[in-house]
Structure formats: structure tokens, C-alpha cells
Amino acid sequence: MAEILLSLTIIGVVAAITLPSLTGNINERTWNTQRKALYARFSQAVSLMDSMNGYSDAETFVTAGLSKVLKINNVCDYDHLEDCGITSKQITDNAGNPTSMPKLVSELNPKNTSMSFTDTHGTTPVDYSYSNVDTEAAAFETQNGESILAFYNPSCSADMQETDYYGASKVCANFVYDLNGSKGPNAVGKDIGVMTVLYPSDSLVVAPMLYPRNSGVEVDFNEAPKACTALDAEYRVPNIGEVISMFYNSKLLNIIESSHYWSSSRYDSSKAWNMSGTTGRIFLEPISSTGWKKVKCVKR
């Protein structure tokens, strides 16, 4: 009897140690599958829309535009976001500290609404600036049970092949999704993530899942992929759309660094696209450059 009790005790201790890890792995696989399916549905829906422009705010964009191409169960205005399963708090860091869910475009990143800079790289300085409306969020529920917080920019601009511009000016719609509504853990990188739609026509939809720990190391363009795979085999250097999405959602994704970040998008044989983490400015840099050039890694 004593041996049986000892065996059961050992089994209980082992189960107590391994069960949380096993449950966490199962949840991560489930969330990853849901996230990819949600991204596929949104990508298809956006491709069916004639244009992302032409709506006054997020609620109108959802009701008059997105609902025509995506199955939506319920739409909630700014004052009733919780009725669509939107939690008031979410966890944005590894320490488990809850923060308020953003409800305005500026609460995703204050620099989403306006910025200006002067490009002095050429012989003649060129001024660039943008100003976006600080619109209120709306929310909706999908038929699959996801709760989606929608942000909208009625004045987003097209991809004009500029070589120096602000990424936030290209964002037409931004979504913060919760795969299981108000149920836990309500943590960014787990059941909560982001999707961003760029350009009013021929739109690009991205849904970067940021690496959960600080992955910033100073590298050149060619070394950036190795820096990501060294952290995790599934992570990659973000493309230019994903880099813009990361800046647009920087407070939610807990990105507070001021370095410049590589994208995986090359301009030509000698230059690639880079972003300023401070201003969201997108510009070209020599692929051999390393000073202040870091890489944030994402899973697709």
C-alpha cells in the first residue's frame, strides 16, 4: 500500500509540473490555427472590396463596407464595444501587467495621427508630412466567435512607389482581434493579435505575430534572417507591410525602442527598406549598414 501511495504521489507531482506546459502548448497550437484561418478570411474579404476609402469612420466602414464581404454577427459602436466581447484590459508584456484596450487610433500609437519630417539626403531638402483623423474604434463579432476591434483611416494613401514616406499614412484599416472574445488569457501574442490593411486599392493585408521577447540586435540586411531564425525557426524578418503594422500598433505590441528596423523587402541590389521606430518613417538604406539597424522578428 505504501508503494502504491508513493507511486501515486510521484505521478501527481509529475502531472502538476508538466500539465501547465502541455496545456499551454495545446492552446498555442489552437490559437495559431485560428489566427491563420482568420487572416485567410480577412484577406479574401478585403480583396472583394472595390476600395478601402469612402467611409467616414470605423462603424460605417464595418456596416456599409466590410459586412458586405465578410460574415458578421453583431456590430457595436464606440460606446458599446464590450457588447461585442471586447475586453477592457489586455496583457501586453511578459510580466502580465494589464493595460487598457485602445479605443482611438492615437491610443495604438500617438504618432498615427500626424507627423512631419524633412528629407535632407538629396541636394535639395524635401518636406514630408501627413495628418490622419483620430477616429474612434468600432467592434464586431464574426460567425466563428472572434471579437474584432476595428480602426479606420478615411484618408489613407496609395502606394506611390515613394522612397521616403510615413508608413501610417498608408494604413486604411487596422484590426485588433481576440480569438475567444472576453475569455482569458486576453494576452497579446496569444489570443490577441493585430491585422492591418494598407492602401485603398490593391490592398495588402498583414497580420504579424511579434516575437515575444526583445529580438533587437544590430545587424546588416543579409544577417537579419539569421538573427530571427536563431531565436526561433518559425520566425522571419517582417516585410514592409508588417513593419508598418508593428509601428501602427506599437503601444499594443509593447514596442518602445527608438532604433531603425529592417524589413525583408529589398529595393534593388544595394538597398532595402528600413523604418524608424521613433517616427514610422520608411526609407532606403544600404544593405551593408548596421548602425542602429535592428530586426524585430515575426511569425506569419
The pLDDT value recorded for residue 22 is 42
Cell digits for 144? 466563428
Q: Quick one: pLDDT band at residue 11, thresholds 50, 70, 90?
A: low
The pLDDT value recorded for residue 149 is 97
pLDDT(215) > 60: no
The pLDDT value recorded for residue 19 is 47
Quick count: other Cβ atoms within 10 Å of Cβ 203? 21
pLDDT tens, position by position, 255-270: 866 678 899 999 999 9
- Overall average pLDDT of the 143-161 stretch: 93
The CA-atom distances, in angstroms, between 165 and each of 19, 34, 265 are 49, 34, 15
The pLDDT value recorded for residue 3 is 64
CA dist 157 and 159 (Å) reads 7
The neighbouring-strand residues paired with 131 are 114
**From the CA atom positions of the chain, what is the Rg in Å?**
21
- Overall average pLDDT of the 84-95 stretch: 85
Side-chain half-sphere of 100: how many Cα atoms within 13 Å? 6
- Compare 290 and 88 and report the one with higher pLDDT: 88
**CATH code of the region 208-300:** 3.10.100.10
pLDDT(15) > 80: no
pLDDT(253) > 60: yes
CA dist 168 and 285 (Å) reads 19
User: Mean pLDDT over all residues of the chain?
Assistant: 87
| % the chain with pLDDT above 70 | 86
Name the residue among 214, 216, 207, 198 with its Cα closest to residue 158. Answer: 198
Cell numbers 491610443 label which residue?
A: 107
Cell numbers 538597398 label which residue?
A: 271
Domain positions in the chain are: 1-201, 208-300
**pTM for this one?**
0.87
Among the ranges given (117-131, 210-224, 250-264), the one the predictor scored with the smallest mean pLDDT: 117-131
Long-range CB contacts for residues 82-85, cutoff 8 Å, separation at least 24: 82/182, 83/139, 84/139, 84/140, 84/141, 84/147, 84/148, 85/139, 85/141, 85/147, 85/178, 85/181, 85/182
